[in-house]
Amino acid sequence: MKIIHHSFMEAIADIKDGATLMVGGFGLVGIPENLIIALSESGTKNLTVISNNCGVDDWGLGLLLRNKQIKKIIASYVGENKEFERQALSREIEVELVPQGTLAEKIRAGGAGIPAFYTPAGVGTPLEAGKESRVFGGKTYLLEEALTADFALIRAYSADIYGNLTYNKTARNFNPIMATAGRVTIAETERLENAGTLDADRIHTPGIYVHALAVGEQRKRIEKLMIAKQA
CB 184 within 8 A of CB 217: no
Mean pLDDT per 10-residue interval, the chain, length 231 residues: 94 98 95 97 97 92 96 89 89 95 98 98 94 98 98 98 97 98 98 94 97 91 72 64
* Residue 178: alpha-carbon gap to chain centroid: 6
> What DSSP designation does 163 have?
-
Structural domains of the chain, with CATH: 3-116+146-215 (3.40.1080.10)
* Residue 81: alpha-carbon gap to chain centroid: 16
Q: Give the pLDDT score at 186.
A: 98
Which residues share a beta bridge with 205? 165
Half-sphere exposure at residue 163, Cβ-oriented, CA atoms within 13 angstroms: 21
- Strand order of the β-sheet with 139-145 is 116-119, 139-145, 133-136
Rg of the chain over all Cα atoms, to the nearest angstrom: 18
Distance from C-alpha of 29 to C-alpha of 221, rounded to nearest angstrom = 8
Q: Give the pLDDT score at 24.
A: 98
Q: Give the pLDDT score at 79.
A: 72
The pTM score is 0.93
* E strand or H helix at 19: none
CA 192, 194, 200, 201 dihedral sign is negative
| 3-state SS class at 97 | strand
Q: Give the pLDDT score at 211.
A: 98
Q: Give the pLDDT score at 231.
A: 64
